[in-house]
Structure 1
Amino acid sequence: MRNNTTYKQYILHTALFLLTLVTTTLAGAEWTGKHYLNGWDFVWSGLDYSITFLGILTIHEMGHYYFARKNNVDATLPYYIPFYFPGIPSIGTFGAFIRMKGIIHSRRTMFDIGIAGPLAGFVAAILLLVYGFATLPEKSYLFRIHPEYAAIQGDYRHEAYTYDFIKKRSDLHTELTFIQDSIYYLQHHDSIPELKKPVKAYETEFEVIVVGKNLLFLLFEKLFSYQGDRLPDPHELYHYPFIFAGYLALFFTALNLIPVGQLDGGHVTYGLFGYERSKKISAVFFILFVSIAGVGMFKENILQINFFTANAADQLEFAFFYLIFLYLIFAKMFETFLNALLTAVAVFTFQFLVEFLFPEITGYGFWLLYAFLIGRYLGVYHPPALSEQPLDTKRKVLGWIALGIFVLCFTPEVVSFELIRP
C-alpha cells in the first residue's frame, strides 16, 4: 500500500513539473515577442526562460529537501504550481514548495533546512545573471522584436516610451495582428469572410510594463556597464530570458527570506535569535513592512477613491474598509481585539501622514497583499522547537549572510505599469 502511494506521489510531482515547464515555456515565448502563429519557433523561443527559471526554483527547493532528509525529517519532493492564461502577462508559475511531514526537534535543524534553499537558489541566480549580462546580444536583437525602434534617430531608451511613439507601435501591432489572423484563416479555410480590424485598446493613453530593480541588479549594471547600449532598458528587460529568469529568481529569494513566520527568513531569524527575540523582531518588521507597503493606498486603491480629493462620504467609505483590511492583517498577531485595532489605526495614520506630507513617495500593492496572506494564513510568529540550543559561529555567519542577501534581492516595486499620456 505504501509503495502504491509513493508511486502515485511521484506521478503527481512529475506531472506538475511537466505542466509547469509547459506554462513557463509559453509565458517565456510571449515575453520574447513571438506570436503563436510562428508554430514551433514560438515554443522553442520560450525554453531559455523556462529551463533556467524552473532550474533555479528546483535548486532552491532541493536545497530544502536535501537538508530535511539529512536531518531525518520526512519531506516531500517539490510541488510545482503552474499558472498561465494566453495573452495575459505572467511568469508561468506561482513557484514551488515542499511539505515537511516530520517533527523538527531542534533550532539548528530548523535553521539548516530553512537557509539551504535561498542560499542554493541565490548562487544559481548569480551564475545565471553573470552569464546573461556577459553574453548580451547586439542591439539588433531588440530591433527584431521591435523593428520600429530601428527607425529612431537617437536613443530608443528615451524616445521609445513617448505617447506618440507608443501610439504608432500600437497601430502597427493592430495591423500586424489583423494580417496574421487573416493568413491563419486562409490556411485553414477555402475562402475568407470579411474580417473586421481589431478595435484599438487605447486612444488617449497607454500602459507599458516596467520591471523594477534591486540593489544587486543595480550592481550588475555597474559591473557590466561596458556593454553600453546592449544593457536592457527596464521597459524591455523581460525580452532577455536569462536576465529575466535571474531577476525573478532574486525576487523569489527575497520573497522567501522575509524574516517572519515559517518563511525561510523566519527560520533564519528564529535560528539566530531564538523564540522570544525572533518573535519581537518579526512583529516589528511585519508592522513596518505593512506600513511602508501600503503607502499610496489613499490615492490609488481598489475602491477607486482618492482620499485627498473625495467627498466626506467617500472618505468614510475608504477609511471603513481600509481599516477593516488592516485589522484583518494584524488580528492573529495579538491576543486581544483592541491591540490589533490600535495597530491598524497607527499604520493607517502613518500612511496618511506620509502621503500627505510626501506625496511623491509610494509603496507597492503586491507587498501589501503578500502581507495579508502572511498575517491571515502563514502566521507572523515562528513556532518554538523542542530544543532551543543556540547556533554555532559558522551558522550564525551564514544567517547574517542570508539576511544581507534579503536586503540585496528585495525589490520595492517588482513590476509596474507606467501610464503614458499625450
Structure 2
Amino acid sequence: MNNLTHKPRNTDELAERISQFFTVYEMQQQGDNVYFYVIPKEALLGVKENNNSGDAPIEPNVVYQKLWAAFAEKGYQFAFKNELGEQILIGTPFKPVKERRWINVVLALATFITTMVMGSFLFGADPISNLSDVLKGIPFTLAIMTVLGAHEAGHYIVAKKHGMNTSLPYFIPFPSIVGTMGAVIRHRGPIPNRKALFDVGIAGPLIGLIVSVIVTVIGLLQPPVANTPDGLQIQLGIPPLFELITRIIPAANTSFMHPVAFAGWVGMLVTALNLIPAGQLDGGHVLRAMIGEKASRVSTLMPVALLFTGGYMILIRNLDGSMWVFWGLLLTVFAASGHPRPLNDDIPLGRGRMVLGIITFFLGLLCVTLVPFQIQ
C-alpha cells in the first residue's frame, strides 16, 4: 500500500475500543482514512464458534456489529477487509449530511403561530375579530410545544449518545384543535444494537410523559376557563393518569379545564398513541428491542385490534371510535414494512431495561381513553 504515513492523532481511544476484539499491530493513514492492521482475539473468535462457522473466516457483519458504534462515536464509518493475508479495519470519516436547519426554524415558528391561534380560542378570545387577541394563546403555545419538544429531545439526545445520526426536531403546523400534528425527527443510518434501539425508543415517551404531568399540574392549579367563542365546548375523555392527578390537586376542575392543563392532556394522548407496539412507533421500537423478531407478530395483530376497538365503539357503544379506525388503517399500511434489524441483535437488554419497558407500557395504558374528545 503506497503513500502511507504514520498513524493520525486522536485515534488512540478508537484503537483501545478495537483492542477488545483485535490486537492492533499497526496503524497508518492515507489521506483522511485510517488503517488498523489487526489480529482477532478470543472475544471475537468466540462469536464465530457460537455461530458454528468452524474455521471459516470471520464474517464482516460480525465485526461490523461489534465495532460500528465505536467508530461512529469518533466520526468514522468503516470497512473490514482481508488483503494479502492481513486483516484490516479501514476507518473513513463520515461525510456530514448538510442539514437545512432553516426548515426546522421555519416549521417551529409556524407551529408557534398555529398553536397560539388555536390556544387563543381555548382562552375564549376571538382573534378573527380582534387580531391582538391571538397573544392570549401564548401560555397554551409554550405548554404544548414544551411537551412535544421534550418528547423529541429525548429521542435526539439518546440517539446522539449512541452515536446515531439523527436530525433536529421538525414541528408540524396544522389547523387542528391544538394547532399542530406534533413533531418528528429523522434517523439516518443503521441501529447499532438492541440496547440503542430500546433507549432511543423509550426516551421520547418517558421524558414527554414526565413533562406532560408537570404541565398538567401547573394547568390544574390555574383558574378554569369556561368560555369559548360561539359556545364551543370540547368534552374530553379523562385517562386514568390524568384522573389520578386531579384527585391529588385540590379544587381541580376537568369540566372547564385551563388550556395549559389541556396541553398536558394532549401530551398524555401523544404518549399513548406513540406507545402502541407496532411498526415504527416508539412502542414498536421498544417491543422489538425487548422480544426480538417475535414483536412482528404483535405488530401484525395490533392494527386488527385497533380496527375492532373502533368498530365496537361505533357499532355497539354508539360512541366516536373514528380515531382507532384511523390508527388501525394507518398501521395496516406502515406496520406491513416490518422493523429494521439492529446491527447487533444478539445482546440481551438485561433485567433493568426489561422492567423499565414493562413499566413504560403500563404508563402508556394509563394515558388511554377510548373516546379522547367530542366537540359539542
Same fold (TM > 0.5): yes
The corresponding residue for 1:52 is 143
1-structure distance, mates of 2:277, 2:268:
16
Query: What is the SS of the residue equivalent to 1:46?
Result: helix
Q: Deviations over 1:302-353 (max 9, x none)?
A: xxxxxxxxxxxxxxxxxxxxxxxxxxxxxxxxxxxxxxxxxxxxxxxxxxxx
2-structure distance, mates of 1:257, 1:67:
17
Aligned-residue Cα RMSD (Å) equals 2.3
Query: What is the SS of the residue equivalent to 2:183?
Result: strand
The corresponding residue for 1:232 is 254
Structure 1 position 22 matched with structure 2 position 113: yes
The corresponding residue for 1:102 is 189
The corresponding residue for 1:258 is 276
Tell me by how many angstroms 1:374 deviates. 1.4
Structure 2 matches for 1:62-141, cutoff 5 A?
Answer: 62-84=153-175, 90-133=177-220, 135-137=221-223
The correspondence for 2:341, drawn from 384, 395, 419, is: 384
2-structure distance, mates of 1:26, 1:365:
26
Structure 2 matches for 1:17-416, cutoff 5 A?
Answer: 17-36=108-127, 37-40=129-132, 42-84=133-175, 90-133=177-220, 135-137=221-223, 142=226, 145=227, 208-224=233-249, 226-227=250-251, 231-233=253-255, 236-237=256-257, 240-275=258-293, 277-298=294-315, 355=316, 360=317, 362=319, 364-379=321-336, 381-388=338-345, 389-416=347-374
Q: In the alignment, is the contact (CA less than 8 A) between 1:283 and 1:380 conserved in 2? A: no
Tell me by how many angstroms 1:208 deviates. 4.8
2-structure distance, mates of 1:136, 1:101:
42
Q: Deviations over 1:274-324 (max 9, x none)?
A: 11x2122333333222211222555xxxxxxxxxxxxxxxxxxxxxxxxxx
Describe the shift of the 1:3–1:286 C-alpha distance in structure 2 as closer, same or farther (beyond 3 A).
Answer: closer
Instruction: State the percentage of identical aligned residues.
Output: 31
Query: What is the SS of the residue equivalent to 2:300?
Result: helix
Describe the shift of the 1:215–1:98 C-alpha distance in structure 2 as closer, same or farther (beyond 3 A).
Answer: same
Q: Aligned pair count?
A: 280
The corresponding residue for 2:45 is none
One-letter code of the match for 1:390? P
One-letter code of the match for 2:253? L
Q: In the alignment, is the contact (CA less than 8 A) between 2:278 and 2:335 conserved in 1? A: no
Of 396-405 and 21-30, more deviation after overlay is shown by 396-405
Q: In the alignment, is the contact (CA less than 8 A) between 2:123 and 2:136 conserved in 1? A: yes
Tell me by how many angstroms 1:378 deviates. 4.8
The corresponding residue for 1:197 is none
Q: In the alignment, is the contact (CA less than 8 A) between 1:256 and 1:265 conserved in 2? A: yes
One-letter code of the match for 2:272? A
Describe the shift of the 1:406–1:296 C-alpha distance in structure 2 as closer, same or farther (beyond 3 A).
Answer: closer
Of 214-223 and 240-249, more deviation after overlay is shown by 214-223
Q: In the alignment, is the contact (CA less than 8 A) between 1:274 and 1:390 conserved in 2? A: no
Q: TM-score, normalised by structure 2?
A: 0.69
Tell me by how many angstroms 1:261 deviates. 0.9
Describe the shift of the 1:261–1:50 C-alpha distance in structure 2 as closer, same or farther (beyond 3 A).
Answer: same
1-structure distance, mates of 2:101, 2:298:
39
1-structure distance, mates of 2:110, 2:165:
25
Query: What is the SS of the residue equivalent to 1:96?
Result: strand
Which structure: greater strand fraction?
2
Tell me by how many angstroms 1:50 deviates. 0.6
Tell me by how many angstroms 1:383 deviates. 3.3
The corresponding residue for 1:307 is none
1-structure distance, mates of 2:191, 2:341:
10
The corresponding residue for 1:334 is none
Rg bigger for which structure? 2
2-structure distance, mates of 1:216, 1:111:
24
The corresponding residue for 1:315 is none
Which structure: greater helix fraction?
1
Tell me by how many angstroms 1:44 deviates. 2.1
